[in-house]
Chain A
């Protein structure tokens, strides 16, 4: 946690007359998990786009050491974006094939990865045969197959039911933590942010500004998300952040 993987300095973004994000500065240390929470329309996704290099700020600077160092960025969206005509193995292999790995090697690697993401037994299933949770597992495996140094997550679990979501948080994010990568997640779920992050950035809306920054200790304990939610002080953080968003 020495150097910053991503650093935003006094960034403002405008779309025409509309100011989406104003005077935002923050750093994501290498290896940290940072979440951005806030009401809808507060510019959360705009920040994610900035970090990934889509669109520039009207003023201020965005530095992405991962992009600059030509290392890989992985994305997870709310939609799993699986290709309907590919089986689970083939979908997971897509990330490698996109980078130019020969098809056979990519699929062999993909087949090796599946058990890590709880997909064993589903190798030859098509997406239409899978539940939402299984689809998201496959999407996550596809993203992770390229071994990204920076993971950008845009409400990755918000389309899932509560139980599935907790399970996926526990398994998938732990896999990611073990890989030592850096992550930035946008979410409107305060519970989720407090449970899985090292740092929670609270945004207020219209125009999007940083309302507060919290260093959160719970994810580092390595406890499963269900137990983390029972941990002492968890509720306090959630209530505090809730009030900061409300005000």
Chain B
């Protein structure tokens, strides 16, 4: 899309040009897919080599399976856990806690963060509070949160939301504050009152950083939920890990850890899809549409 289009004015691209562009796009997409496929194959190969080496070392007796587990034992634990349904229900519990916490934390964080754009005074008042909360390890809050919110699901959701909220807030605020001042001036000169500038410009300008916040906080939400389960719980992956750990059942700990990792990946994947949906215009630019 360069000067030749500018000069030859009737801009509706002819069918030929469209076809060429589509072909080029498909070509690029094809290349991208191929490189992703290669990466996945390499990942799998490395994983298999690693697992084989581990199993081999355990079988040869040079590594203690009691201390370090083994792929075979972990696999058996997973099969047993899925068979009895225990691991699945633990995974669902933790996933729901983390998901609800993730949503609540991000909604509160993003709302307050973007809203702080409105008032410089409130922002400056809250600045030290936010810095303090941001510097506080959420794990240290867990005991009190259990006291306040009880030992049920709500305390894990609270933990999860608390781990998310400050990061979400800071990113949303940075996004809002990063709004182009000339664009604000332009809208003002067109007669837009502040709230309309907020709706038309500041809010959509912040969306990119809010999406970044979603990506950053997906893992944090899961960590928060699991720490909550560590402190006091009767279900969830954190609970299973804690119990197994206290029984020196290394394969069960590792098996549950793998499920935690998979959950985290699933959450990140969902966030990625959401981001592509919301920031469609951005990905259009990247694909050179």
Q: What is the size, in residues, of chain A's interface with B at 8 Å between Cβ atoms? A: 33
- Chain B residues, Cβ within 8 Å of A131: 1-3, 5-6
B13, B281, B282, most chain A CB atoms within 10 A: B281
- Chain A residues, Cβ within 8 Å of B201: 83
CB B269 to nearest CB in A, in angstroms, measures: 24
Of residues 76 to 132 in A, which have CB atoms within 8 Å of B's CB atoms?
77, 79, 81, 83-86, 94-95, 97-100, 118, 120-122, 126, 128-131
Of residues 2 to 37 in B, which have CB atoms within 8 Å of A's CB atoms?
2-3, 5-7, 9-13
CB A52 to nearest CB in B, in angstroms, measures: 7
CB A29 to nearest CB in B, in angstroms, measures: 23
Q: How far is the CA of A77 from the CA of B190 in the complex (A)?
A: 14
B1, B3, B189, B192, most chain A CB atoms within 10 A: B189
Q: How far is the CA of A86 from the CA of B282 in the complex (A)?
A: 11
The one of B183, B207, B284 that contacts A126, using a Cβ cutoff of 8 Å: B284
Q: How far is the CA of A84 from the CA of B284 in the complex (A)?
A: 11
- Chain A residues, Cβ within 8 Å of B10: 121
B128 located at the interface, meaning its Cβ lies under 8 Å from any Cβ of chain A in the complex: no
In the complex, the answer to whether A83 meets B183 with C-beta atoms within 8 Å is: yes
Taken residue by residue from 222 to 250, chain B's Cβ proximity to chain A (1 for < 8 Å, 0 otherwise) reads as 00000000000000000000000000000
Closest partner residue, chain B, to A163 (CB atom) = B7
B1, B13, B197, most chain A CB atoms within 10 A: B1
- Chain B residues, Cβ within 8 Å of A52: 189
CB B288 to nearest CB in A, in angstroms, measures: 8
In the complex, the answer to whether B5 meets A98 with C-beta atoms within 8 Å is: no
The one of A75, A77, A121, A129 that contacts B285, using a Cβ cutoff of 8 Å: A129
Q: How far is the CA of A133 from the CA of B7 in the complex (A)?
A: 10
A161 located at the interface, meaning its Cβ lies under 8 Å from any Cβ of chain B in the complex: yes
In the complex, the answer to whether B190 meets A95 with C-beta atoms within 8 Å is: yes
In the complex, the answer to whether B285 meets A94 with C-beta atoms within 8 Å is: no
CB A81 to nearest CB in B, in angstroms, measures: 5
CB A82 to nearest CB in B, in angstroms, measures: 9
In the complex, the answer to whether A97 meets B200 with C-beta atoms within 8 Å is: yes
B276 located at the interface, meaning its Cβ lies under 8 Å from any Cβ of chain A in the complex: no
- Chain A residues, Cβ within 8 Å of B3: 131, 133, 161, 163-164
Taken residue by residue from 133 to 169, chain A's Cβ proximity to chain B (1 for < 8 Å, 0 otherwise) reads as 1100000000000100000000000000101100100
The one of B189, B196, B282, B284 that contacts A75, using a Cβ cutoff of 8 Å: B189
A211 located at the interface, meaning its Cβ lies under 8 Å from any Cβ of chain B in the complex: no
The one of A73, A126, A134 that contacts B189, using a Cβ cutoff of 8 Å: A73
In the complex, the answer to whether B11 meets A72 with C-beta atoms within 8 Å is: no
CB B287 to nearest CB in A, in angstroms, measures: 10
In the complex, the answer to whether B281 meets A85 with C-beta atoms within 8 Å is: yes
In the complex, the answer to whether B6 meets A81 with C-beta atoms within 8 Å is: no
In the complex, the answer to whether B1 meets A129 with C-beta atoms within 8 Å is: yes
The one of A84, A100, A130 that contacts B1, using a Cβ cutoff of 8 Å: A130
Q: How far is the CA of A234 from the CA of B200 in the complex (A)?
A: 45
Q: How far is the CA of A13 from the CA of B284 in the complex (A)?
A: 46
What are 17 A-B residue pairs whose CB atoms fall within 8 Å in the complex?
A81-B183, A81-B186, A83-B204, A85-B281, A98-B187, A99-B192, A100-B196, A118-B9, A121-B10, A129-B289, A131-B2, A131-B3, A131-B6, A133-B3, A134-B1, A134-B6, A164-B7
Residues of A participating in the B interface, judged by any CB pair closer than 8 Å = 52, 72-73, 75, 77, 79, 81, 83-86, 94-95, 97-100, 118, 120-122, 126, 128-131, 133-134, 146, 161, 163-164, 167
> Apart from A129-B1, A134-B6, what 17 extra A-B contacts exist at CB < 8 Å?
A52-B189, A73-B189, A81-B183, A83-B201, A84-B281, A94-B200, A98-B191, A99-B191, A121-B10, A122-B11, A126-B284, A126-B285, A128-B284, A129-B289, A130-B1, A131-B1, A131-B3
